[in-house]
Amino acid sequence: MSGEVRLSRRRFLKYAAGTAGALVIGIGSAEALDRPPPVGLLGDAWAQVGSYLRVAADGRIYIGVRDPDNGEGTATSLARIIAEELDADWSRVIVEPLGLGIQAGNGEPRFTYGRQRSGDATSIPAAWADLRQAGALGRWLILQAAARRLGLPADQLHTENGVVIASDGRRLSYADLASAAASIDAPSTAPPLKATDAYRLIGQPAGDVDARAAVTGQLRYAGDDSIGDAVVAVLARCPYPGGSLDTADREAAGKIAGVYDVIDITPEQGQLAGTAVQVPSIAVLATDTWSALAGRAALKATWKQGPSVEPSAYTLEQKALELFGDDAGAAEPSTVRNDGDVAAARKKAARALEATYFQPWIAHATAETPNCVVRLDADTSITVIAATQSPRAAYAVVQRMTGFKPEQIDIQVPRGGGGFGRRLEQDYIAEAVAVALAKKADTVRNRPIKLLWTRDDDLAHDYYRPLAVHRLNASIDRKKAIVGWHQRMASPSMLVGRATPDNRLWQSELVPDALPAGLVPNFRSDWYPLESQLARGEWRGSPHVTPAFATESFIDEIAHSLKLNPLDFRLAMLGEGRQLPYNGRGGPLDTARLANVLKLAAEKIDWSRWLRSENGLGIACSYVFGAYVAHAIEVAPTADGIDIRRAVCVADVGRAINPLGLEAQLQGATMDALSTALNLAITVKDGKVQQTGFRDYPVSATQPLPYEVETVIVPSTAEPTGASVIGVPSAAPALANAVFRATAVRVRRLPLLRELSRLR
């Protein structure tokens, strides 16, 4: 027997008896309703839909998680939401990642799991309602089965830790009831959810489900996966955007022991950015990694510049300054927001301030470099194994390149070693498929291929966070309040080449309602495009991160110029608690909640020392995807730079599903943000990226980073938000503000240590 509970026209819960007496509940979208029952994980009596819950007859509880996990703890948090409503014994829960759910429907793909994407802290808020309903349905069905078994009304039963307990003391385990529960008729409406004060999993700290495997070296990442007798492939890529091959000794490469094949790979033309082979390359296929790398070295490939040479950062910065200073109006910006009249406010102002800030290109440098395994079975099917943040985007690439039908494509998504937005791009998957389609040597024609990237490959061919230049102007009245704010930003948009109208390219760089919008009566933000051929992509919430450094630093500058405490100045700007309109995800913006995280950060670092401390204290805040975050940093000056003595991060994310996982995300994001601000920059010289490894791109250098990041998680009953990027935006400006207090040097250009050394 099976049943279905409709939540809306597009969302439903479906349940059935699985194999071996299991109760299986699926969570899906309406486009999956007509999927024929597959054989496999859930048994041949079950149509696999969405994330799922399976209560097995042996007492184990399997929870399938649709969204990729690249170390964010997504799998743990999503599983605990279901387990909470089910009232499951967490020690019996087994979490299983799901590959891409896809089926054919009238010749078009139908995606079983809906969005199935990780990035921009979306997983928890997107799944919160459905996962609770799935767990609640499971608990309701089990209670009905127990009521029949015990001959008692269901309201005389309650559940606790995987056991049904009757009012007379009799007990039945979920395992005893799983099969019978699957035969219960569906309720007419969705079962009631738990009262939040009855939660015993949500809100309690829990280690990551993969923690033990990770620390003992047993966790398998994408790079550990392979298929049978796969051959290793590495690519020699053109280092010049728009460039081409000049010379290559293919014969010498082919003579290296272990090398099977040498293949030219040509970029696809006319495809959207991030979905195709990025540059011309030569693939070397070999029996192992060492042989493949030796073969690549033997190529001694040389490359030619394209028709236009990629400009240096200095050239782009000068162009930005020209655009800002174009009084003739020849360079028309995209106006992102325009409230009141900033020009009139400037004329009436008692004081006006201006500052310009510079940020470099930034690479993702994920701990695990891109990699992909592909098995192509003639013209019948293809299997792709890759850590991607967007399995649906991966499918689109594979389908376009092969022409296969949906049922011929299998996308498997193992654990990835860091995402940060890099794995939203599918270029490495496109490369692997291109190699699989092109291999011709008899020794490799029918064998899977495993494409590997080295760290050099990763830094030279990333989808970088764009370089940016900001010019900010503020108008101050006689009461020392900001009455006018004009923010101009110039950068290469990451949306170029992504089917986005030219007049909307600013969307990847600026958020219209980002503060101080809504707090200043006369407010304007403009974006100017800069031309670049470098590939660009999402980096840890770029439209929030990039402007935050300039905005929060400038607010600190204004407070200093007015001889005001930066904390008090920010709180005065926020004013009385109120709801500000916010059209981005997470709105409206509650100024009281933002003020609260500022106050808590100040309290934690003892802001009362702000004026008298020998060290410098800095503070900054941000509102990101519905989360309220503040950083407070303490910096001590040293003979050759600075030492970060303390770092505090306070976050209000609504209801925290797993506080321990949230703490880890805040700590990791803060350390990454500080490391990036202190040391990192991608530079271009003679048309190509200069960085080749951690030796000249020193991610997470131990000094002068703090020993730990002190975190405060604000208790809340509000709807939960995500956490993966929220600890990034306000860290860098809090650091720069602390450096100013410690050294009297205002750093407006990143990376900070290099600029501080120059200015001192």
Tens of pLDDT, residues 50-68: 457 888 888 899 998 889 9
Task: Indicate whether 413 belongs to any domain.
Answer: yes
Structure tokens given for 222: 């994408």
Whether residues 432 and 569 share a domain: the answer is no
Task: Indicate whether 634 belongs to any domain.
Answer: yes
The yes-or-no verdict on residue 503 having pLDDT over 90 is no
Whether residues 724 and 618 share a domain: the answer is yes
Task: Indicate whether 638 belongs to any domain.
Answer: yes
Mean pLDDT of 329-353: 93
Annotate 399-427 with b (16+ C-beta within 10 A) or e (fewer).
bebbebebebbbbbbbbbbbbbbbbbbbb
Rg of the Cα trace of the chain? 28
User: Which residue is it, tokens 């590939």?
Assistant: 535
Q: List residues bridging with 428 in a β-sheet.
A: none
Whether residues 129 and 265 share a domain: the answer is no
Whether residues 117 and 172 share a domain: the answer is yes
**Beta sheet of 627-638, edge-to-edge order:** 616-624, 627-638, 641-652, 710-713
Whether residues 377 and 489 share a domain: the answer is no
CA 632 to chain centre: 24
Cα separation, 148 vs 179, whole angstroms: 13
Domain count, the chain: 3
What mean pLDDT value characterizes the chain? 91
Structure tokens given for 17: 């008896």
The continuous run of DSSP H or E covering 402 comes out as helix 391-402
Whether residues 726 and 622 share a domain: the answer is yes
Task: Indicate whether 381 belongs to any domain.
Answer: yes
Structure tokens given for 459: 């830094």
Whether residues 191 and 286 share a domain: the answer is no
The yes-or-no verdict on residue 305 having pLDDT over 80 is yes
Task: Indicate whether 578 belongs to any domain.
Answer: yes
Position 558 scores a pLDDT of 99
Structure tokens given for 135: 């767990």
CA 139-143-148 angle, 5° bins: 155
Whether residues 480 and 628 share a domain: the answer is yes
Task: Indicate whether 327 belongs to any domain.
Answer: no
Position 6 scores a pLDDT of 60
Task: Indicate whether 626 belongs to any domain.
Answer: yes
CB 80 within 8 A of CB 202: yes
The continuous run of DSSP H or E covering 157 comes out as strand 157-160
* Maximum pairwise Cα distance, the chain: 86
Whether residues 580 and 602 share a domain: the answer is yes
Task: Indicate whether 329 belongs to any domain.
Answer: no
Position 40 scores a pLDDT of 31
| CATH code of 103's domain | 3.30.365.10
Position 29 scores a pLDDT of 44
Cα separation, 281 vs 3, whole angstroms: 53
Q: What is the pLDDT of residues 671-681, one digit of tens each?
A: 999 999 999 99
Q: Could you tell me what percent of the chain has a pLDDT over 70? A: 93
Mean pLDDT of 393-416: 95
The residue among 106 and 272 whose pLDDT is bigger is 272
Q: What is the pLDDT of residues 358-391, one digit of tens each?
A: 999 999 999 999 999 999 998 799 999 999 999 9
Q: Residue 57 in 3-state DSSP?
A: coil
Whether residues 230 and 154 share a domain: the answer is no
Q: What is the pLDDT of residues 545-601, one digit of tens each?
A: 999 999 999 999 999 999 999 999 999 999 999 999 998 888 999 999 999 999 999
The yes-or-no verdict on residue 246 having pLDDT over 60 is yes
Q: Residue 33: which pLDDT band, with cuts at 50, 70 and 90?
A: very low
Cα separation, 88 vs 260, whole angstroms: 52
Whether residues 192 and 240 share a domain: the answer is no
Q: Residue 13: which pLDDT band, with cuts at 50, 70 and 90?
A: low
Burial degree of 503 (CB within 10 A; 0-12, 13-18, 19+): exposed
In 3D, which of 582, 659, 567 has the Cα closest to residue 621? Answer: 567
Q: Residue 35: which pLDDT band, with cuts at 50, 70 and 90?
A: very low
Q: Which domain holds residue 500?
A: 314-320+340-363+463-759
Cα separation, 568 vs 576, whole angstroms: 13
Whether residues 528 and 555 share a domain: the answer is yes
